[in-house]
Amino acid sequence: MYAKVVVDIPNDAVDRVFDYIGFDDTQVGMRVLVPFANRTVMGYVIALSETTDCDLKKIKSIIKHLDSVPKLKTEILSLTDYLVGHFFLRKSDAIRLVLPSCVRNDNQHEQNRFLISLIVDIDTAINTIGKRAKNQLSAVAFLSEQGEADYTRMCDMFGRASINALIEKGMISKEKIRKLRAPISMKSKSENHQLTNSQSEAVEQITNQDKTFLLHGVTGSGKTEVYMTIIEQALKEGKTAIMLVPEISLTPQMMSRFNSRFPSDVAVLHSGLSEGERFDEWERIFVGDAHVVLGARSAVFAPIENLGVIIIDEEHDSSYVSESNPRFNTHDVAEFRARYNHCPLILGSATPSIETFNKAQKGIYNLISLPERVNGLNMPKIEIIDMLNEVMDGNTTPFSKPLLNNLQKCIDEKNQAMLFINRRGFASFMMCRECGYRAKCDDCEVSLVYHKEDKELKCHFCGKRYRALTHCPSCNSTDIKYGALGTERVCEDLKKLFPSVPIFRMDNDTTRGKNAHQNILSEFSATKPSILVGTQMIAKGHDYPDVSFVGILDADVSLYNSDFKSNERTFQLVTQVAGRAGRKTDNAHVVLQTYAPKHYVYRFASNYDYLGFYDKEVNLRQTTQFPPYTNILRILISSVSDNLAKDTTKEILDECMMLKTKFPGEIIFLQAMPSPIKRIQSKYRYQILTRYLPNDKITSEFYSIADRIKKDVSIFVELNPNNLR
C-alpha cells in the first residue's frame, strides 16, 4: 500500500504530495517520519492508494508512525483542501493552521519536557560539525527549518547521542518548559432564563437550519442567551458546537457563563494558554471529552466532530482576519464547516460589519433582529460634547465639564464608571520644543510612547524600551513636549480629582500576568464607587450592572485613521463602549468627547441608529466604489534590505499591471507606495494597493503573483484589510 504524504516543510518547491510505501496499519491523517532528500522529516498521510506513479525502484518507505490514532480527521482534511483552494495556501501551511504546534510537536504529556533550538547560524553549525556526523547535520538542518523542537522528539529522530553532542558543542540550547496546566475554570451560579418572545423566535428560526444567520441585536439584547440555548439543543441531539469570540471578549465572565451552563463540556482555546494547556484542551476536544469549544479565531479549526452549530460573536471584530501568514478569514472557514455539517452558522453583533449586513440585505444571509434590551431598559443616553467649546472656555484638561459632572454624580450615587481612551501609556510621544527632536524607535519608523510608571519610552510595535528623556539628546534643552494622553495619564489626573475613589486601569500593560485581567475586573466589580479606565479591552463582553456612567475621552482617534473602515470602526467602538452602561438602571449616561460633533458617525451612534448609519455608509461606499462594491487588496512587502523590498515591489507591481489588460475595466486602482509605517522591527515596508470589482478570479491572480515571486523578503496579501499601517 502506498501513502500520499505532505511533508512538513513550508517551501513552495516541495508543495506537492509524495508517495511512500506504507505499513499495513498506516492510516489517513497520521503524522509520520519519512526520508526526504537525505534527511528525515515529518509528514502527514493525506490519502492511501494501491497504486503509485513513482518509479518502484526509487520509492522509499515510511520510517515510522508518529501517531497511533490519526491526528487529522476526515473533516479537517477536507478543510485543508478548502484552505489550499480558497486562500491559495501551501498544503503544509494549511495543515499547520489546523494542527497547533503543540500538537504537531507533541510529547506534551511528559512532565519534564525540554525545548531545543539552534543558537548559532546554520552555516557555522555545518562547518563546525563536519561532513561525517550525518545525524548531527540532519538535526541542525531540521532545527533551522522548524525554529525549535521538542528534545525527546529530536532524540527519537536523530539519536540521543547526536543531540547531546550538539548541546555540548554549543550549537543548540536545551531549555526546560515550565508547566502551567489547567486553565482557569470558574463557575458562576447557573442562570436559566425564560427566553423573551424575540429570543424564542430567534431560536426557532435558527435551529437545525443549514443556513447562515445574522443575529443583529443591541448590546444586552440577550444574544448570548440565544447562542447558549441553541448550543444546548445541539448537545441534546448528540451534536457539538463552536463559539468564537474576539480574543479580548474571552473574559472570565464569558468563560464562567459557559462553564456553568455546560459543566465539564467546554474546552477553551485562546492565546493566553500555555502550550501544555492548549495541548490538553485540544486533546479533550479531539477525543470527544468536550463538546463545546469556546475560543478566539483559531478555534474555528478545532478537531470537533458532528457540529450542530457554529457561532461567531461580535462578528464585525477585526481579530477574525489573520494578520500574518498563512492568511485566512474566520467567516469563510466557519461557513465551510457549517455547510459540511449541514448546521447553522450564526453571526452575531450589535454593529455588524457593512459587508455582512449587505449580504443580509441581499438575502445571502438570513437577518434576525433583537431590537431591544431584554429587561426593557432604555439604551443609555449618549451626550456629544464639542471639545472646541471647552478649549474656548479655557478648559485644556482632558475632561470636559459635563464629563466631570456626570462622573461626580455617578460616584455620589455609589455607582461605577468606565472611562475609555484607546491609547495606553502616559503620552503618545516625547519631543523637544526647542529643536523639534522626537524620540523614535531605532528599529521602527514610529514615535516612542512615554510610560511614566516605568520611567521608560516604549515602542508599541517591537516592544523595545528606552530611558525616558530628561533633556533633548540633540540640543540639551529640557523643554520637553508630551504627546496625546494615554490611560496612565488619565488615571494620574483622576487620582488628583477624586483622591478617595478607587481607580482601576486595564490595558496591555496592566494585564500581562496570567490572571491579571480577571483580577482587575473582579476587584472593580466588587468596589463601589469606582472608576475603570481602559483601552478597547473594556469595550467588550463585560456585563457589570452597576456601571451607570461611561466616558469616551477621545473618540476621534479611530475616526481619523484614514482607511475605508474608519467610519465603520468608530461607529462600532462608540456603540460597544456605550453599551457597557445602564444594564441595571434606566438613567445611565454616556459622554462622548470629540472635535467633530457633527460627524454623521456620532450622530447615528448617539441615536443607536445602526440602520441609518448603514444606509449612509453603504451609499458612500457605492458612489466612491469601495467595498463591498469593490475589493481592496493589499500586498505588503517587507525586508531588512530597503533595496530588495523596493525592487521586489516593483517586480510584483509590473506583473500586477498585466492584469489590467487581462481584466479590462475591472481594476479601478493599482499602485505601489511605501507603507504608512515605513519600517517595523528593522524591516522596510512597501505596499501595493489595488481596488477592483469583486471577482474571485482577479483575487486569485493577485495571490498567485505574490506567491510566485520568490525573494528573500516577506510578502503578505490581505483582502479588504482592517488596517493599513
Q: Under the rule (CB under 6 A), what is the footprint of ligand ADP?
A: 191, 193-196, 199, 217, 219-225, 374, 543
Is 193 or 342 the residue whose CB approaches ligand ADP more closely?
A: 193
Cβ proximity to ligand ADP: between 43 and 222 the closer is: 222
| 62 touches Zn ion by CB under 5 A | no
Could you say whether residue 472 binds Zn ion (CB under 5 A)? Answer: yes
Cell of 49: 492508494
- Minimum distance between the CB of residue 470 and Zn ion, rounded to whole angstroms? 12
The answer to whether the beta carbons of residues 48 and 70 sit under 8 Å apart is no
Choosing among Zn ion, ligand ADP, none, which partner's interface includes residue 220 (Cβ < 5 to 8 Å by kind)? ligand ADP
Contacting residue, 28, 122, 462, 501, with Zn ion by CB under 5 A: 462
* Minimum distance, C-beta of residue 215 to ligand ADP, in the bound complex (Å): 9
The DSSP letter of residue 99 is S
* Cα–Cα distance for residue pair 337/79, rounded to 1 Å: 8
By the rule CB under 5 A, 477 interacts with Zn ion:
yes
- Which residues have CB under 8 Å from 681's CB, separation 6+? 443, 444, 461, 462
- Is the CB of residue 561 less than 8 Å from the CB of residue 569? yes
Choose the contact partner of 453 out of ligand ADP, Zn ion, none; CB within 5 to 8 A by kind. Answer: none
- 550 - beta bridge partners? 418, 590
- Among Zn ion, ligand ADP, none, the one that 666 touches (CB under a kind-dependent 5 to 8 A) is none
Picked from Zn ion, ligand ADP, none, the partner binding residue 435 (CB below 5 to 8 A depending on kind) is Zn ion
CB under 8 Å to 623, separation ≥6 — which residues?
Answer: none
- Please report which residue ranges of 270-329 form alpha helices under DSSP H: 275-286
* Residues with Cβ within 8 Å of residue 172, at least 6 apart in sequence: 116, 117, 118, 119, 139, 140, 143, 163, 166
State the binding partner of 427 from Zn ion, ligand ADP, none, CB within 5 to 8 A by kind: none
Identify which of residues 222 and 534 has a Cβ nearer to ligand ADP in the complex: 222
Can residue 677 be called a binding residue for Zn ion (CB under 5 A)? no
- Using CA of residue 40, residue 41, residue 44, residue 50, what is the dihedral sign? negative
Q: Which of residues 558-597 bind Zn ion (CB under 5 A)?
A: none
How many residues of this chain interact with Zn ion, rule: CB under 5 A? Answer: 15
Applying CB under 5 A, the span of 383-391, 473-481, 515-523, 696-704 interacting with Zn ion comes to: 473-481
Pairwise CA distance, residues 311 & 212, whole Å: 10
Find the helix packing angle between 74-87 and 330-341, rounded to 10°: 140
Contact of residue 529 among ligand ADP, Zn ion, none (CB under 5-8 Å per partner type): none
Rounded to whole angstroms, how far apart are CA atoms 79 and 13? 23
Give 105's DSSP letter.
T
Window 405 to 434, contacts with Zn ion (CB under 5 A): 432, 434
Q: What is the DSSP letter of 193?
A: P
Strand-strand pairing, 31-36 and 39-49: antiparallel
Which sign, positive or negative, has the C-alpha torsion 124, 128, 129, 131?
A: positive
| Cβ at position 237, least distance to ligand ADP in Å | 22
Closer CB to ligand ADP, 191 or 615, in the complex: 191
The answer to whether the CB of 417 falls within 8 A of the CB of 549 is: yes
User: Could you tell me the strand order of the sheet in which 683-692 lies?
Assistant: 667-680, 683-692, 631-639, 714-719
Phi, psi of 715 (to 5 degrees): -125, 130
> Which one of Zn ion, ligand ADP, none interacts with residue 196, CB within 5 to 8 A by kind?
ligand ADP
Q: Does 441 bind Zn ion (CB under 5 A)?
A: yes
Q: Residue 217 binds which entry of Zn ion, ligand ADP, none, with Cβ cut-offs from 5 to 8 Å by kind?
A: ligand ADP
Partner whose footprint covers residue 709, from ligand ADP, Zn ion, none (CB < 5 to 8 Å by kind) = none
- Report in angstroms the alpha-carbon separations of 595 from 235, 391, 556, 562, 602: 51, 10, 7, 16, 11
Tell me the closest approach of the beta carbon of residue 541 to ligand ADP, in angstroms. 8
Residue 466 binds Zn ion, judged by CB under 5 A: no
Stretch that binds Zn ion, among 28-36, 125-133, 354-362, 460-468 (CB under 5 A): 460-468
| Nearer Cβ to Zn ion (441/578) | 441
Interaction of residue 457 with Zn ion, rule CB under 5 A: no
Question: Which one, 337 or 451, has the nearer CB to Zn ion?
Answer: 451
Q: Taking the complex as a whole, how short is the minimal distance between the CB of residue 429 and Zn ion, in angstroms? A: 13
Residue 219, contacted partner among Zn ion, ligand ADP, none, CB below 5-8 A by kind: ligand ADP
What are the residues binding Zn ion (CB under 5 A)? 432, 434-435, 437, 441, 443-444, 459, 461-462, 464, 472, 474-475, 477
